[in-house]
Homo-oligomer: A and B are copies of this chain.
Amino acid sequence: MSDLLRIRPAATDDMIAVFDDAATIAHGCAFEVALARAQAACGVIAPDLADAISAGVDPARIDPAALAEEAALAGTLAIPLVARLRAMVGGEAGQALHRGATSQDVADTVLMLQAREAHRLLVVDARRVVDALAMHARAHAERRAIGRTLLQDAMPLAFGLRLAHAARGIGDALAMLDTAVAAHAVMQLGGAAGTRAGMDGKGVAVAAHLADALGLGRSAPWHARRTGIAAIGVALGILIGALGKFARDVSLLAQNGLGEAREPLIAGRGGSSAMAHKRNPTGCQVALSAATRAPGLVASLLGGLPHELERGLGGWQAEGPVLADLFLLASGSAAVLAVVAEGLEIDADAIARNLAAAGVGDDIGESAAILAELLDGLED
């Protein structure tokens, strides 16, 4: 039995699929096939063995529930998976499968394949938020509004400047994530002690072939050097926080006494089971819920950094679910806020009314120049 009700609100269907059992198994199989092909290409195993492995491995024949049961017992996905694949392939080819590799090679490579894919999906939604905010920012670059600091009316600013800040914050966080994924979502192949022993001295070449085949960056093994995965995780945490900042602002501006902006009306969203008249900022809720959870998840990831010697005990096993949760939360946040940003209802009358009520004039200083500088930075 799945747990859609627990996980679903935080992510798009596509993003959920990135981390589900089918994807995990498919990537694990792809790793073993690509490894065999790479080893054949480098002369470590005979080409016909690689062909037999390639032909014999079939993810569809693996029962996720049974595999999960055994993986939980074994403490690693790779042992029961490799056992199945060897049985599936049979004979000498079966024995050649997973040659020179270790469990963590499979687990880490699978996770990084998922990270790449998750990043690709996430960027689309997050970019939609940025673009929509930039568009609104430009449209309201001259609109005078009352600025609020410490939740009190302060001095005027351009309403668009507020949105430009949100756009730039998300854009900068996205740039950090792009950099982290490009640099650190790389393949893992080290073998039992991270030395690539057991591959006839051709481990470096095999690793290069494997990385290229899987579409991941090449890398020295990193079994116990987890700065890269941490870099991806913290960038997700910052992105979720930046998205949360926009959600916080919309939810505050949508308050009944203020009414300057609010989420668009979406069929099936924002209702109340007790109050038919109510329009809840449900998209903001999703994003703020994600922002409440993300800092702790990042802490979990960082907490495992001091891995023990060549492969840690507990630390790295914690990373997979945490990184997946961060992507799922970022995905949910970006997807709902894309809709919110694109359809954001801005009430010019309320803005003008609130500004007038503040009684501090309408000098918005150099709002326009700052707004332009913020948006220009997005194109970098």
Q: Is the CB of B291 within 8 A of A5?
A: no
Q: How far is B248's CA from A151's CA once the two chains are assembled, in angstroms? A: 10
Supposing A310-B162, A370-B220 touch, asked if A5 and B64 sit within 8 A by C-beta, the answer is yes
Interface size on A, residues (CB 8 A): 172
Nearest Cβ distance between residue A244 and chain B, in whole angstroms? 4
Query: Which of B3, B67, B369 is within 8 Å of A21, CB to CB?
Result: B3
**Interface assignment of A121: CB less than 8 Å from any CB of chain B:** no
Query: Which of B151, B242, B307 is within 8 Å of A281, CB to CB?
Result: B151
Supposing A68-B4, A268-B70, A366-B204 touch, asked if A275 and B154 sit within 8 A by C-beta, the answer is yes
Query: 1/0 contact trace for A223-238 toward B, CB 8 Å?
Result: 1111110110010011
> Taking the full assembly, how many copies of this chain does it contain?
4
Q: Is the CB of A320 within 8 A of B6?
A: yes
**Interface assignment of A305: CB less than 8 Å from any CB of chain B:** yes
Complex: chain B residue closest to A99, CB-CB: B274
Query: 1/0 contact trace for A367-380 toward B, CB 8 Å?
Result: 10110011001000
Specify which of A67, A68, A365 lies most central, judged by the most chain B CB atoms within 10 Å of its CB: A365
Complex: chain B residue closest to A241, CB-CB: B305
**Interface assignment of A87: CB less than 8 Å from any CB of chain B:** no
Q: Is the CB of B151 within 8 A of A252?
A: yes
**Interface assignment of A37: CB less than 8 Å from any CB of chain B:** no
Interface residues of A in 158-192 (CB under 8 A from B): 158, 161-162, 165-166, 168-169, 172-173, 176, 190-192
Complex: chain B residue closest to A76, CB-CB: B273
Complex: chain B residue closest to A367, CB-CB: B195
Q: Is the CB of A193 within 8 A of B149?
A: yes
Q: How far is B249's CA from A302's CA once the two chains are assembled, in angstroms? A: 17
**Interface assignment of A196: CB less than 8 Å from any CB of chain B:** yes
Which chain B positions have C-beta within 8 A of A280? 75, 149-150, 152
Q: How far is B55's CA from A216's CA once the two chains are assembled, in angstroms? A: 56
Q: How far is B300's CA from A304's CA once the two chains are assembled, in angstroms? A: 12
Give me 10 other A-B pairs in contact (C-beta within 8 A), A78-B273, A204-B370, A303-B303 excluded: A6-B324, A82-B273, A103-B272, A147-B309, A148-B255, A152-B256, A152-B281, A155-B195, A176-B227, A196-B366
Instruction: Give 5 nearest A-B pairs by CB, closest first.
Output: A288-B314, A241-B305, A257-B257, A197-B365, A147-B193
27 A-B pairs whose Cβ atoms sit less than 8 Å apart in the complex: A74-B282, A98-B273, A103-B273, A147-B194, A147-B195, A149-B223, A149-B311, A151-B308, A152-B278, A154-B272, A154-B311, A156-B195, A161-B194, A161-B195, A169-B225, A176-B231, A195-B366, A197-B364, A198-B365, A220-B370, A221-B370, A231-B238, A238-B305, A284-B314, A292-B304, A296-B297, A298-B299
